[in-house]
Chains A and B, each alone.
Chain A
Amino acid sequence: MNWGENYVNFLSDPDFWNTLQVSLVYAGLTVVLELLLGLGMALLLVRRTRLNNFISVMLLMPLMTAPALAALMFKLMTNPNFGILSYFMQVLGFENFRWGSDPSTALLTVLMVDIWVYTPFMMILLLAGLRSLPTQPFEAAALDGVPRWQQFWRITLPMLMPYVLTASLFRLLDSIQQFDIIYALTQGGPGDTLMVFQVEAYLNFFQSTNIGRSTALLIILWAITFVLSNLFIKNWLRLRERARGEI
């Protein structure tokens, strides 16, 4: 058996290209959606009122739930017999909305769980970032009569950018390796709809005992995460130095 064979085979292997595509789509969509939602939530909760503090602490709970158990919770909620979400869909006029067991809605379902678990991560990082921004630029802008919606684009977002970048890279690194949620919810199915890298590698190893292919998949994933983690660490170090310098 030639060692390079597994990699050469990938070029003509539609399953590999499917895995790569699904993983990238999954990672890209989760990071973008969680970033937008998390940023929105951070902006809504940025003022330090007691209610806001209470809400942001409550919102940490999904993040502290084991992703595999979160997937199980959503599996119960999307059960066709008694699942509350299935019932809502029925009320809204979607009869037989089958969530994770339907190839056309499976991605939507795992995205929902991922968003539920990890958006609070984006939110608390961006919230801490927003609250650490200096106030003078905002005061100056208010004096200059800059409208509030422009303040966001011209002051808030540029100053928040290091936090946005670090949080997004951190999530991207985790998301491209997602296993728990997808495995617990659909085991990569239905069919190969959700065959991301680690799920595919796991099933190859244990079910088809195709150890060579499994390892090759993981090495390719490792190469991707290696590049991403170098980018991340660079950003993270800069931010960390700044955070420590502020003490």
Chain B
Amino acid sequence: MRHHTVLETWLRGLAIAVIVLFFMFPIFWIVLMSFQTNETILRSPPSMAFVPTISNYEAIFAGRLDSNVASMDIKFLGNLGNSIILSVGSVAVALLLGVPAAYAFARHKFRGSEDIAFTLLSFRFAPPLLVLLPLTTYFQALGIADTYFGLIWVYQLICLPLILWIVRGYFEDIPADIEHAYRTAGHGWFATFRKIALPLAMPGIAAAGLLAFIFAWNNFIFALVLASADKQPVTVGALAFVTASGIQYGQIAAAVVLSIAPTLMLALYAQRYLVEGLSLGAVKG
């Protein structure tokens, strides 16, 4: 048992309070901002006392902002849609390709299988622009520039290694005898994969999928380099929004809140698996 002096307990409490303040305050502040009008935002000194308004969110969802000065189009809803299509599409493709591949790497060690797995992992660590810049030319030539398909393909650089390495660990944790038992009972290898391996690795697959979704959603550089204006996700769109809307700070804040809310929610939901996923299985949560 540890024994703490009163002073020590107080100091620890203070340190934790300062840390929580530093890490939580920006999110708290941006949420507050999103419920204010420009007038209350620009008040000096800043004050917490204001009448909350949902006009910023209304403007984003209506796609139009009408003020007494001017009216303008807000295309941010399109960015949200793009983020959803790109992230869901990327995770779906990554699961479709990555889960069977992870199973193969976990169960069938063949000559060079480790090398292939490591090569896939090394994509995670190479400078993304080194891959992206040449692709700008090839995508034009292939006719997949400005398509969701092309972007989802490139997003595999982040999603696939993640899924492959996390899910592989979960497959390796299933005792091989359980699969042997199912096969000797008379079931083929595909039935064994579907009825034994998949259900037993499901928690890991779900966790890897959620993490891949979060990384795809948060990605900035891929879409910045390759996506045309109408295919941009929220990360790129929010930045463009700042340039376009100039001083509509309330709407910018609302856009940021809408952009970070999905990943924050998912993270809270999946926090149990985050540690293992973030460290690619090196640390058990």
Contacts and interface: CB of A to CB of B under 8 A. Distances in A.
B172 A60 contact: no
Contacts of B12: 44
A55 B16 contact: yes
B97 interface: no
Contacts of B44: 82, 87
16 contacts: A55-B20, A66-B217, A66-B259, A68-B220, A76-B253, A82-B44, A84-B29, A84-B46, A119-B23, A124-B274, A179-B221, A184-B220, A198-B127, A218-B133, A243-B283, A244-B173
B221 A69 contact: no
B16 A45 contact: yes
B271 A236 contact: no
A129 B44 CA distance: 46
Contacts of A170: 279
Interface stretch (A24-32, A95-103, A221-229): A221-229
Query: How many interface residues does chain B have, given as a range?
Result: 35 or more
B283 A82 contact: no
A69 B46 contact: no
Given A61-B267, A73-B26, A173 B19 contact: no
B126 interface: yes
A212 to B, nearest CB: 11
Interface of B: 2, 12, 15-16, 19-20, 22-24, 26-27, 29-30, 33, 41-46, 118, 121-122, 125-130, 133, 169, 172-173, 214, 217-221, 224-225, 234-236, 238-239, 242, 249, 252-253, 256, 259-260, 263-264, 266-268, 271, 274-275, 278-285
Interface of A: 40-41, 44-45, 55, 57-70, 72-77, 79, 81-82, 84, 87, 116, 119-121, 124-125, 128-129, 132, 148, 163, 166-167, 170, 173, 177, 179-180, 183-184, 197-198, 201-202, 205, 211, 214-215, 218-219, 221-222, 225, 228-229, 232-233, 236, 239-240, 243-244, 246-247
